Structure 1
Amino acid sequence: MKPIFISHAVADKVLVDLFVELLIGGIGISHTDIFYTSQRDQGIPSGKDFKSHIKDQLKETKLTFSLVSENYYNSAFCMCELGAVWIDSKDFIPLLIPPIDFKQLRATLEGVQARKIFSTEDLDIIRDETIRQLDLKNPRGTGYWTQKKEEFLTKGAEAATKLPKSDQVPRSALEKCEQEKNALQQEVSSIIKEKEKIEHINLALSKVKDSAAVAEVQRKFNTDHETFQELCGDAKDRLSELPLIVRKVLYAQFNGEAFTSDDSWDLTDLESARREGFLEQTEGANAYTTSTKSKRLTACKAALERLATFLEDESTPEFHKDFENNNDTPAEIKLAPFWRKHLGVKV
């Protein structure tokens, strides 16, 4: 009987032959001490029953290597052979052939200490383990081993890339494809909904000409959060074009209050805003209100009115609940913190 048994898929024969050459040339093991089924002179003798011969061989084997690849896992016979190895073999070393890695070990291999066939450190461990298990008295020296190991790593890595590909898909790969398929289906569904939304918008836009009406149509297809961001951004941009004193007067007006200047205000700023057509004096020397002479100011007031109408009459309770959960204050245009945080005006 042969002390070394190599369990492998027939499809991986090229790589198995190279591994056998490593054992023979690098350690000094005789080819007559190695049993593997794909090599005629080292495998099953003519006329012998295949299954019974393997069973008999395993009873006397001192060390078993299983070259675990995708082809190995997809071979029903290899799986049966693996079970027999696990039961009968005294010492058992699985060798992983890429892309198989530790995470993919299953069946009787799960939890078994395995080695990577193209790891120089693991090959050194395999050499030492083989010498110990077979009780070799005169193994080849380190120089022979290193040379043959480097040859195996080069030739073996190249041979592994040319091994026949299995026509079966590993479960892990199938599950990954399923996850990717589900993600793509969700993305496609989202794209289809967005496309339908755009088509409805374009249909509605084709019926209007006025820019304000166009904006109103677009908002009908927005979520409340999208509408808020759009209206708030428009109002903030228009406010930024106005002098600070004018923004203060606008804030007072939105709170139903009259704006009255005090000693903290530079009269030059007020007078400049009046000359620019932004402000008008009302009853009393220090009372001011906004003017209707400035187009910029009129457009800003309209933007604020649209925002106020949305917040007070059009937005949903869910929007206000979400807004309060994510901000320090309610979504109310009359509040000073709202102007500071969302409109950029210090009041």
Structure 2
Amino acid sequence: MKIFISHSSLDNRLVNPLMDLIQTQFGLTRSNFFNTSDEELQAGGQWIEEIKQGMHDSSLVLPVITPNYLESAFCLCELGATWVKSADLIPIIVPPLDYKALNATPFRSVYQTVSLDSEEGLTRLYDAITKRGIGQGNVTRFLSRAKQFSERDLAPFIKEMEQREVVTPALVKNLKADVARYKEAFESSESEMDQLREENKKLRLMKDAKEVKQMDYERMDEWDEFMAAAEEAKSILNSLPRYAVSVLYQNYKSNHEGFFPESDDFSKLTDMESEGMVIYDSGWKPDYGHPKIKKADAALDKLKAVCGNYPHLEERFHEEYPDCRFGLRYSNFWEAIFKISIYKTN
């Protein structure tokens, strides 16, 4: 007597305990079974030929019908081979499938299925095997072991199958339709974004430059705002003579006390005085009547305000410039941020 258990390899955690139940309760041995999940196949062997031979040698086939089984082309081939061979067959239906699972096959009209949906189903399995004169069984002992099998192996498997999403042709069709809609929506949104970018570009060209710059500042984070203000001041200061920058620095450093150069070279300062950039009043001081000096002072005031608005800015500054003091009072701050040299004062 040889029993061929046809099943999906994904279901071995159910099939092996079921084989153990039948074996122990009917006094059989492993040699009475062909079960690919019980290491029946030899490593490196011609496994397809071994399965064909195993089915040929079997007098009873037990296909364990699960969702995994119905999705396996190989399992369906085994089922078809059983039909061709006209072998004795007991289809075992595992919930959540029911007797309708084989409606699309010839087996539903010819063979009586056994559903493992209750104790009664397990009793029918016992009766079906007993009627075929297989081994020596005891129904009371069988049902006692079957109860353990049902609680330990069958119930968890059924629960997992109930939660499993079955990929049906209808589901695939719906998913394809969803993908097409999402693709269309994505392409539409990309087109809208391109249009908005183009409109934004045109608006920026049309709007007042000061309004655009203010909008950019509102979108910046603390460090970006600081660096933008520093860059603005740098571009103005770099257009000024070095002595004019030194006079401006001294004004921030010593609270309007005035600049006294270390050298006796006053010619450049007097030249700038004649241009209206600086003025001598108990020391050299900025002449804020000059457009460039006024513009530079405004940019420096703006940078000073940014520095005061964000208490944590100094920490970031020291990460970027570890050798500098933070603030307009310090010459190395000017030299690091504005990339200029400051003349010393007496």
TM-score, L = length of structure 2:
0.45
**Structure label with greater radius of gyration:** 2
TM-score, L = length of structure 1:
0.45
